[in-house]
Structure 1
Amino acid sequence: MATKRPKFKYTYDVFLSFRGEDTRKSFTTHLYNALKQVGIEVFMDDERIAKGEHIPSSLLQAIEHSRISIIIFSQNYAGSSWCLQELEKIMECYKTTQQEVFPLFYDVQPSEVRKQQNAFGKAWERLITTFPIRKGRKLAINLKRVLNEAANLSGWDMQKYRTEAELLDDIVKTVTMRLDNSKYMFVAHHPVGLDSRVQDIIQLLSCESNEIIIIGIWGMGGVGKTTMAKAIYNEMGQSFVGKSFLANIREVWKHDNGQVYLQEQLLSSILKTRRINIPNVGLGKSLIKEILCQKRVFIVLDDVDHEDQLKVLCERREWFGQGSRIIVTTRDERLLQILQVNKVFNVRGMDDNESIELFSWHAFKQALPERNFNELSRRVVSYSGGLPLALEILGSYLFDREIPYWESALNKLEQIPNGKIHEILKISYDGLSDQIEQELFLDICCFFIGKDRSYATQVLDGCGLHAEVGITHLIERSLVKVVKFGNKNIFDMHDLIRDMGREIVREQSPTKLEKRTRLWSKDDVLNVLENNIGTMTIKGLSLNMPRNNLVSLSTKAFENMKRILLLNFDHVQLNGDYGCLSKELRWLCWHNSLLENLPTDFNLEKTVAIDLKWSNLTKVWLKNQVMEWLKVLNLGHSHCLTETPNFSKLPYLEKLILKDCPRLCMIHPSIGNLRYLIMLNLKNCIGLEQLPKGIYDLKSLRTLNLFGCSKIERLDEDIEKMESLMILGASHTAITQVPISIMRLKNIKYVSLCGYEGLPRDVFPSLFCRGCPQQIIQSPFVKPLGSRHR
């Protein structure tokens, strides 16, 4: 049974007391960073004190709400009345709240502090001369007593260590062990919505089962995985024989001897001892297994980002005793699959109400925005997309600022992401296995959000990016999401992840647009094209103009952009020699083009996908091109198109979309030569009267959509040759007679025909029933289209 939370809540793990002019520029900063890197919440007065706040009371409060205080005694420490006031408060907390206190002697001897001698003593003498005459003696006696008490505590003497790094390592180990053995970890200043997110996990981990349960907490950076793990650790850890919270494993792993350090930290925490020395990783694995296999332990492995980390810390369940509970937080879902966790919890973002509350605590120090800031606060919440990290950072950034500052900051954020948020989210990008996956991510960020996964995969494969494998990795690392939309799987991405990717591209050349690899902003693209400053660096370009603002550009603007692979236009007109355009194009997406046909000098030999929806095309080409790379041709909604191209020079075409081409009256007979065609969409081609005979030779075709082709009257008996056909949509056509051979299609999964839709085993008997029509209507397996009665 978990113990109750204490009434007194700590805000900080460690309070640092120091004389800034002695140590701030070097040692104290290094110590602060070392503690932060392992996930310890540290108070250092130049970080936490807000502008305009009364400093002394804030410092005293920070001391009271810290679990541990470290006093860095330096030569001039006793010369600061500020430091001595801190010291008094620290020693008061040491006696009244059982706060742990550690002195650290920096270039002074402990005896010099106890007796106020040498340089330390001179600083002390200078200070006491400033004391008021009446109270000076009593005050000096009291401070001497406090100095003596503090200097007698167990701590660190810098002169006993060979290097500063060795001293820092010992401090971090000691503090980490003390925090691990303390009752509760600091979770969050404002844990908004936290309880509702952890209850399902706590319920699963709290079960009475003696099995070893491993839980994965997975999600993008900044979504609150570590915060959740800390809350669960506080709630449940006390009921276990041994417990350990290994914080920030990803960062610690990078340091020299980081692997061994993590193993030592794990065993030290479980065994409640200050230091365990492990000579190498191999022995560490053996010790973990040998020592822990008989213990019921509660362990959190925080921010795991590599399989090797699992191998040296918890490779198998058998390493731990019955009833043990392990939590792993990560941005990479694949690691949880490798570990074979019992359950993966995907951390969701905050809803609008939670977001407003968390943001308000940081921006206004209250639960709701101030009256004049409601709309601006909503804008921040919308920008943050429910990401707690962003809400906290932006709230602190905007605290105590005026409305014009807010407006300017929000406008800037739309162009350039906040630096702290960007750096934390960029960790996932930096962790990608190679440059190809990074390029893949940037292409999706800039051009393929909202696009079908299958379609984008074909295009990006054509760019040499091994997209299927790479996209899987991006999804596992919470960088890309795939959402169901109708029968499509659409790429989606958190707005801040998208902005992070686009900022990486912008940082390639902050001032010179033409030296960036990708351009997607309307203003940036127009700047490059209208001023003819494009370069070989540009690999992708997207220009989407509003419907009522068609832009006309010269093809000469593309003369120097010979390596463009991805080109996306909407409501754009190009004039001039199309031979100027890149011959390396893999993707041409040009919606609402005014061209009646593609120019003969437009070289598309290497293009993988052509999307010309809503175009003015009457014919696609006047002269056919050899296009052996082309897999997708989308001419949908081309209301002037009268005939398809000759397909004989498009041998590897896989998807042909002619949806809503009302004037289309002829499909070229060469369509029968498309051996790899898997999808043909002729939906609502109301001018089409018949299908060419060759269409029945499409043995690879899986989907044939004839819905709304109101003039098509029949399907041939040769339809049985379409041996791969899985989906046949032919409702709202003029078909009244169905070929009997359709029943011999072995792979058919769905049929929509003659007013009925459903599984073939149910539809076919109804279509060929020789009995009363009423019997067809009453079939429980067949769904009539249009109305309930025929």
Structure 2
Amino acid sequence: MVLCLFLTVLHYCFLFFYQLMTSSIPPMEFASSSSKLPRMYDVLINFNGEDIQRKFVSHLDSALSAVGLTTFLHHPNALNPTHIQQPILNLCRVAIVVFTRTYSQSAWCLHQLQQIIKWHQTYYRHVLPVYYEIEPSDVRLQKGDFGEAFKATAQETFSRQQLEHGISRWSHALTKAANFFGWDENNHRSDAELVDKIVKIVLNLPLLSTTKFPVGLQSRVKDVILTIKSKSTQVFTIAICGMEGSGRTTLAKAIYNQIHGTFTEKSFIEDIAQVSQTRGYVPLQEQFLSDVVKTKVEISDVEMGKSMIWERLYGKRVLLVLDDLNDYGQLGLWGTSSWFGEGTVIIITMREEDLPSMHEVDSAFRINPMNANESLELLSWHAFREPKPKKEYRVLAKRVVAYCGALPLALEVIGTYLYKRTKDEWNRVLIRLDNIPQHEVPQILKISFDGLSNQIEKDLFLDVCCVFVGKSRAYVTKILNGCGVDPDSGIRVLIKRNLIKVKENNKFGMHHLLREMGSEIISEISREESRKNSRLWFDEDLQHVLSENTLFSSPGTKVIQRLYNGRDFFERYPLEVRDPSRLLKFAEDYEFHPKKLRWISLQRFSSKYLPNDFYLHDAIAIDLKHSLLRFLWKETPKVLACLKVLNLSHSKYLTKTPDFSRLPSLEQLILKDCPRLRQVHQSIGCLCNLILLNLKDCTSLSTLPSEISTLQIFEVFWCNVTPSLNYMSK
């Protein structure tokens, strides 16, 4: 045992020094929102019992120390254990919780686990469970000997009045911890093998920042990074290619998270194909420039964007990820390899069939399908929250894996749907899978959609798919609340089912294949029910279209959007086109007067004002960002009693605000970056419901009406405005 421990420590010493010599990447890099907190320890190890400390924890502690990580052993017998709770925790980067049969016998450990879960939720730090000589399900469900000890400890700790609440809090912490990615000692040949896996994950925690269960990801990341390092003296473009749903974006994110700390200029541009269809390429170029110069950049057209990229980044060492690039011509929008300095890395994700057209690619990494063991493990993590299926489900799980074709997306969505399902329900899913033609991934994904428990959840999915991808969760909730819909519980279900994502900026995202599935469902509904049809008009420049949609979650409620008319638009958006030969001149002679129009999104609106006969009386939100408005409307409309959000930001020619007396319900007024805005109407004092006012970068605004001092506004932004701005303090 001593010899084994010595050899293991020697192995990790070699690994640590090898990393220092061969890599410019720090051995440990954490994606955390709390980087300003002081740090003393890398890893906190939480456990109970001297036996496990001698048998396993000391082994793990030595291995972590051997690669240069500082550890803190967190257990009831530690020096002054009652004084090390939150302060020590706040000085750690990651917590490893070692669950044993005796863990639930310690009230101290259960209290500490509550603190660890709270710490995870507050600071977004990683919690990694290890199950040593105990079943993960015993911890998750508090059953067996572990569960009996848990109940006994609670009864000894809490009074009769506190017992129910105390058990609930401890149970929540145990269940939460047991749902994290972790390790079961029973699945490893030896402690040395288990420790080796733990150390490798701790050294590569960006993998866990990328995906909840990084099965098979580590080896692929290592292979790509080794290729990148071998070309570190040149501008290197590498393509990551594979079929839809194979994990291209996840792999690119993991690589970016691993190496971005060594670059000053860096950007990850996600969903290029999807975003360009609805918004064009200008916003994507703006994102790239804003990321690398670390300030908001606005451009008017693609050629201006290319010129600014050349001016700002010529000769610089850049890390750029272009996700879902499907056209060689698009690559030039972000510059050519001759523009950037040596050491630049450009990573492109694409379908394999698009690779031959990418002439500037220096190397290609093809994502091979997951092997049978990896596929089964990924399904198991989602379906059972364990690395292996339960014994009685093993045959069923292998059959599901065979149907899903080793595609991570399908395994993730189907596995999540099957979580806590009975064997009969598994068999019903297998019957459906048996009737789906091979490679019809959207049909496989539809099993999860069809299994949603009520129509509200299904309607919410279709609304996000059709209208709300890229919109913030709070913004969508406000709109739907105004339509009489409470979407919170439904959105939580869709997130748990992996049918929608909420990104770091709190905006909704959805995988292309899930959107394709949603589009097929919407097309089918549109054919059966004409009232559900979407309508489409061309704008006068033919580069944009006006899309009218009826919300599924609120029948009769309509939204209108101005979308970029890009390549394959009609394939991606199953809209019924009305009068396609007629050019619609939006500002003047059109016949578009729908009632129940709740959300109006007309970004880059090209007229001086909204037409007087445009029906706005049911609108909850009006979004006119980047417009050419001089003023909002010529004649003040009747009272817009429902309007809660008015966004006129980046309207370069706007000189004055509207009369607010007709907008009694307004809660958010966004006038950011309106450089010619000189006057805010004094009726702003009537907006007693206003909670957000953004006047940032309104550089021509020198005074505000005194009436604003009567408002109880929660958030006010007027940074970077003219220094002589006079405003009233509340």
Bin of the TM-score, shorter chain as denominator length: 0.3 to 0.5
Q: Which has the higher contact order (CA 8 A, sep 6+)?
A: 2
Looking at CA atoms only, which structure, 1 or 2, has the larger radius of gyration?
A: 1
TM-score normalised to structure 1 length:
0.39
TM-score normalised to structure 2 length:
0.42
